[in-house]
Amino acid sequence: MAVFTQITAAQLADFWAGYALPAVTGFKGIAAGVQNSNYIVETQEQRFILTLYEDTQTGVDPNDLPYFLGLMQHLAGGGIACPTPIARNDAALSGMLAGRPAALVSFLPGRATITPKPPQCRAVGAALAEMHLAGAGFSMHRANTQGPKNWRKLFEASQARADEAAPGLADFMRAELARIEADWPRDLPQGVIHADLFPDNVFFEKGAVSGLIDFYFACHDVLAYDLAIMLNAWCFEADVNFNITKARALLAGYQSVRPMTAEEIAALPILASGAAMRFLTTRLYDWLNRPEDALVTPKNPVDYLRRLRFHRHVASAADYGLEA
C-alpha cells in the first residue's frame, strides 16, 4: 500500500455521497507498498480501506477491477477472511475519485507480522490452500500479467542501469532468466492465486490468520507458484538467510489442506527461482524509476538477488524441508 495521489476532504465527501454510509470523521494515507494509493477512512462506528488505483508500469490496470473486486466478494462469500467490497448506491463496486478509479472495502481486524514464526508460517500455508480451494468456483479469468514475459520486459527496460543496484547484476539476471524460461513448468495444476501474499498482506489474531488482503495481483496461474512466492516472502530472515524450519512449517500447513502432486513438488525449486526473479525485476524497475513526489519507499531489489542465488543451487524440494 502507498500514497501516490493525495485527496482532499471535499473530494472524499463527493465520493462518499455515492454510498449509504455514515459521515466520514477522519481519513489518513497509508505509506507502505509500491502500487496503489491507500487510505484508512473512519466513521463514528466503522473503518474502511479506500484504494485509488494507479495505472503504472508495474501496477494495477483499472480494467481489471471487476475481476479483483469480484474475486474478493467470491472468496468472502466462501468463508475466506478477506476484504469485502462495499457496494455503492448504484450497486457498482467502484467509482471515480481524484481522477482515479477507486473502491471501498471492509477493514479487517488483526495485525501483520514483521518477523513470522514457524506456527504463523504453518497457519498461513493452510490459509493459502483454503483460498486456492475456495477460488475454484470463481467464474472470471485473469491471466498473470506479472509472469515470465513481463520479467523479460522489465529486465530489458532496466538492464542498462541494473549494475547501479549491484555489480554484475545485469549479466547474472540475463543468465538466470534464460535458465528459468527454459525450465519453466507447463502442466501443473492451476487456479486462482493471490500472487503477492507477503507477511504484510496477512493479519493475525491470537496466532490465527484473521485476514488476507491486497488481492490486486490475483490471477489464474500455477497454484504451486503461489506457494513458491510465499517461500521467498516468509522463509528468509532479515539477513536473507533461508530458514528451513519456517519453510517446513509453511509447506506442511499447505499440504494439510491441499496435498501437492509429485509434479508440483519436483517443480518447486524452479518455481521458487521464478518467484524470486519476478520480484527482482519489478523491484529493480521501481528502484530505478521511483517518483520523487510519491509517499512511498522503494524496496531494495538486492534482497531478491540474494534469494535467487540461493534457489539456483537447490537440488530438490527436500532442501525446502519437503520430501517428494
Question: CATH number of the domain that 180 lies in?
Answer: 3.90.1200.10
Domain boundary among 58, 76, 106: 106
pLDDT, tens only, 8-45: 999 999 999 999 999 999 999 987 555 788 999 999 99
In a shared domain, residues 204 and 285: yes
In a shared domain, residues 18 and 147: no
Q: What is the pLDDT of residue 221?
A: 98
Q: What is the pLDDT of residue 75?
A: 98
In a shared domain, residues 74 and 176: no
DSSP 215-266: -TT-EEEEHHHHHHHHHHHHSB-TT--B-HHHHHHHHHHHHHHSPPPHHHHH
Query: How far apart, in whole angstroms, are the C-alpha atoms of residue 251 and residue 121?
Result: 8
In a shared domain, residues 230 and 302: yes
Average pLDDT in the 245-259 region?
98
Residues in the chain: 324
Nearest in space to 296 (alpha carbons), one of 27, 34, 38, 39 = 34
Share above pLDDT 90 across residues of the chain, in percent, rounded to a whole number? 86
In a shared domain, residues 171 and 314: yes
Is 65 inside a domain boundary? yes
Average pLDDT in the 94-100 region?
95
Query: How far apart, in whole angstroms, are the C-alpha atoms of residue 16 and residue 59?
Result: 25
Is 50 inside a domain boundary? yes
pLDDT, tens only, 157-194: 999 999 999 999 999 999 999 999 999 999 999 999 99
152: pLDDT strictly greater than 70: yes
pLDDT band of 3, cuts 50, 70, 90: confident
Is 3 inside a domain boundary? no
In a shared domain, residues 57 and 167: no
| Planar angle of CA 155, 157, 161, nearest 5 degrees | 85
Least confident stretch, 21-35, 114-128, 256-270, 289-303: 289-303
Is 1 inside a domain boundary? no
Average pLDDT in the 214-223 region?
95
217: pLDDT strictly greater than 50: yes
Is 111 inside a domain boundary? no
Least confident stretch, 51-65, 117-131, 234-248: 51-65
Residues contacting 204, CB < 8 A, separation 6+: 110, 111, 112, 113, 120, 123, 210
Q: What is the pLDDT of residue 1?
A: 46
Average pLDDT in the 196-224 region?
96
Q: What is the pLDDT of residue 257?
A: 98
Is 4 inside a domain boundary? no
Instruction: Find the helix or strand (DSSP H, E) in which 84 lies.
Output: none
126: pLDDT strictly greater than 50: yes
CB-count burial class (<10 Å; 0-12, 13-18, 19+) for 277: buried
Domain boundary among 64, 82, 106: 106
In a shared domain, residues 281 and 149: yes
Domain count, the chain: 2
Domain that holds residue 192: 118-320
Summary mean pLDDT of the chain: 93
In a shared domain, residues 97 and 136: no
Q: What is the pLDDT of residue 89?
A: 98
In a shared domain, residues 305 and 239: yes
Q: What is the pLDDT of residue 35?
A: 73
Is 113 inside a domain boundary? no
Average pLDDT in the 68-75 region?
96
Which domain CATH number covers 56?
3.30.200.20
DSSP 181-222: HHH--SSS-EEEE-S---GGGEEEETTEEEEE---TT-EEEE
CB-count burial class (<10 Å; 0-12, 13-18, 19+) for 141: exposed
Domain boundary among 81, 106, 131: 106
In a shared domain, residues 155 and 212: yes
Q: What is the pLDDT of residue 56?
A: 56
